[in-house]
């Protein structure tokens, strides 16, 4: 379990990193926390010719409070976000999501952007970015572009980031005051990848009806996804137990659930409905309690 030969490069700006990516072509890979890339290299599933380490690019390790959003640079470690007072105050859902990601030592090295760029279908952060409508800043040789979360993830380990591009930051909108949010998942052992999980953010109107709702699911299909049909069922309704149960039943409409030794398609579909129901129920309860 040793990687093949590779060159290690350490640029000092995003521009330089992008230039190196373009110079070395398909064989070049960004190295962030290495918590997914290095194991893949040890298994020789990934055999990059050049590793471009971005973790020491000045400024890329910043967490910035933009007022209505929190922007996280590509070198920011997961644990830095997890323990950031600003994030805790303005976007506590992200902190809760991070508690489910791997184990503490892995979060010390792994980055938030690395997890998003990696686009594991089991990723809590991908689902959280979907539920919060995060915006991704992708930089290439011809400049940068902003991509909304719903467009970012394409399939298993695949995003809209093209060869020669990198993710330089991600912006998570702050959780609006008075909204309820929840993340929950089922994984067979602590810190392992989820078999099924959901994230939801819910705002209630003055009449107690659901004013806005997002629900995203992870761990169960080829990528994290928004459950729009479930959201639509709730928006404009009183969030009764029946309404939530009906919404949960809609969470997996048209979804092809994945299967592996930890769970068949049917089991994943069952769990998905259970967790859709659980996170919707918790998010509603928190919204009703006025918690942030």
Partner 1 sequence: MGLGGMNKLNWIGRSLPRVEDKKFLMGRGGYIDDMDLHGMLHVAVLRSPFAHAIIKGMDTSAAEALPGVVAVITGKQAAELCDWMPDFNPEPNLHKWRVLADEKVRYVGEGVAVVVAESRYIAEDGRDLIEVDYEPLAPVPSARKAQEAGAALLHDGMESNVAHDSTLAFGDVDGEFERAAHIVREHVYWGRTAAQPMETAGSVASYNPGNGMLTIHANSVALTNFSFLVAGTLKIDSNKLDLVPMPAGGSFGSKFWATRATVTAGMCSKFLGRPVKYVEDRLDHALSCDHHGSEREYDIEMAISADGEFRALRLVCTDDYGAYFQFGLGTHGNAMSQVIGPYDIKAISYRAVGVLTNKCQQGAYRGFGSEVHNFALERLVDKAAIELGVDALELRRKNFITPDKFPHKIPGGNVYDSGNYEAVLQEALKDARLDYWRAEQAKAREEGRYVGIGIVTQQERSVYAANEWWFFRGAEGVSSVPESVSLHVDALGKVSVTMYSTAFWGNSPETVAAQVLGEELGVNPDEVSFAYQGTNKGLPGSGPGGSRFTVMITGAVQGASAKIRDKAIKIAAHMLEVAEGDLEYVNGGVQVKGDPSQRKSLAEIAIMPRLFKHQLPDDITSGFDADMVYDHPYTTLPTADRSDLGIFYPMMAHATHIAVVEVDVETGGVKFLDYIAVHDCGTVVNPRSLDGQVIGGLAQGVGQALYEEFVYDDEGQIQSSSWLDYLIPSAMEIPEVRLGHHETPSPFTPYGMKGGGEGGRMHAPAAIASAVDDALKPLGATRATHLPLTPERIISMVNGH
Ligand X SMILES: Cc1cc2nc3c(=O)[nH]c(=O)nc-3n(C[C@H](O)[C@H](O)[C@H](O)COP(=O)(O)OP(=O)(O)OC[C@H]3O[C@@H](n4cnc5c(N)ncnc54)[C@H](O)[C@@H]3O)c2cc1C
Q: How far is the CB of 246 from ligand X (least distance, A)?
A: 30
Q: How far is the CB of 85 from ligand X (least distance, A)?
A: 22
18/215 with CB nearer ligand X = 18
226 binds, among partner 1, ligand X, none (CB under 5 to 8 A by kind): none
> By CB under 6 A, which span of 82-90, 115-123, 247-255, 256-264 interacts with ligand X?
115-123
10/262 with CB nearer partner 1 = 262
81/247 with CB nearer ligand X = 81
35 lies in the binding site for ligand X (CB under 6 A) = yes
Distances in Å between the alpha carbon of 209 and those of 146, 277, 283?
Answer: 33, 17, 13
Whats the size of the chain, residue-wise?
A: 292
74 binds, among ligand X, partner 1, none (CB under 5 to 8 A by kind): ligand X
123 lies in the binding site for ligand X (CB under 6 A) = yes
Rg of the chain over CA atoms, in angstroms? 19
Applying CB under 6 A, among 9, 81, 91, 102 the residue interacting with ligand X is: 102
30 lies in the binding site for ligand X (CB under 6 A) = yes
Q: For the packed helices 124-131 and 92-99, what is the interaxial angle rounded to 10 degrees? A: 160
Distances in Å between the alpha carbon of 143 and those of 13, 61, 124, 153, 166?
Answer: 14, 20, 29, 20, 11
160/274 with CB nearer partner 1 = 274
CA distance 76 to 104: 15
36 lies in the binding site for ligand X (CB under 6 A) = yes
Q: How far is the CB of 29 from ligand X (least distance, A)?
A: 4
Q: How far is the CB of 156 from ligand X (least distance, A)?
A: 13
Q: How far is the CB of 190 from partner 1 (least distance, A)?
A: 4
- Under 8 Å between Cβ of 124 and 199: yes
83/266 with CB nearer ligand X = 83
267 binds, among partner 1, ligand X, none (CB under 5 to 8 A by kind): partner 1
- Under 8 Å between Cβ of 75 and 57: yes
Q: How far is the CB of 186 from partner 1 (least distance, A)?
A: 5
Q: Locate 118 and state its tokens.
A: 């990696």
Residue ranges binding partner 1 (CB under 8 A): 1-5, 43-44, 186, 188-193, 195, 260-264, 267, 270-271, 274
Strands 158-159 and 153-155, bridge-based pairing:
antiparallel
44/56 with CB nearer partner 1 = 44
Strands 63-65 and 69-73, bridge-based pairing:
antiparallel
DSSP for 255-276 reads: -----BTTB-HHHHHHHHHHHH
Q: How many residues bind ligand X (CB under 6 A)?
A: 31
Helix extents (H) in the chain: 14-24, 37-42, 78-82, 85-90, 92-99, 104-109, 112-118, 124-131, 149-152, 228-234, 241-250, 265-289
Question: Where on the chain is the footprint of ligand X (CB under 6 A)?
Answer: 29-37, 39, 74, 101-102, 106, 110-111, 113-115, 117-118, 120, 122-125, 161, 166-167, 191, 193
């Amino acid at each position: 379990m040793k990687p093949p030969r590779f060159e290690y490069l350490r640029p000092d700006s995003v521009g330089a990193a992008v230039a190196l990516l373009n110079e070395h072509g398909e064989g070049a890979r960004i190295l962030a926390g290495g918590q997914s890339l290095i194991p893949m290299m040890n298994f020789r599933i990934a055999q990059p010719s050049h590793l471009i380490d971005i973790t020491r690019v000045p400024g890329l390790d910043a967490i910035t409070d933009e007022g209505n959003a929190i922007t996280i640079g590509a070198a920011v470690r997961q644990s830095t976000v997890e323990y950031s007072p600003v994030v805790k105050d303005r976007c506590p859902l992200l902190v809760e999501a991070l508690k489910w990601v791997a184990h503490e030592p892995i979060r010390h090295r792994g980055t938030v952007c690395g997890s998003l760029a990696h686009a594991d279908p089991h990723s809590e952060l991908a689902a959280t970015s979907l539920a919060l409508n995060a915006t991704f800043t992708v930089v290439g040789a011809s400049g940068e572009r902003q991509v909304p979360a719903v467009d970012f993830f394409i399939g298993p380990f695949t995003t809209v980031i093209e060869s020669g591009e990198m993710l330089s930051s991600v912006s998570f909108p702050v959780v609006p005051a008075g909204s309820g949010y929840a993340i929950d998942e089922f994984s067979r052992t602590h810190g392992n990848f989820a078999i099924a999980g959901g994230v939801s953010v819910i705002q209630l109107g003055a009449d107690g009806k659901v004013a806005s709702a997002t629900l995203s699911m992870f761990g169960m299909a080829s990528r994290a996804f928004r459950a729009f049909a479930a959201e639509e069922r709730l928006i404009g309704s009183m969030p009764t137990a029946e309404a939530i149960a009906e919404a949960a039943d809609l969470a997996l409409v048209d979804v092809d659930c994945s299967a592996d030794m930890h769970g068949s398609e049917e089991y994943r579909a069952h769990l998905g409905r259970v967790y859709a129901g659980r996170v919707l129920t918790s998010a509603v309860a928190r919204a009703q309690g006025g918690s942030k």
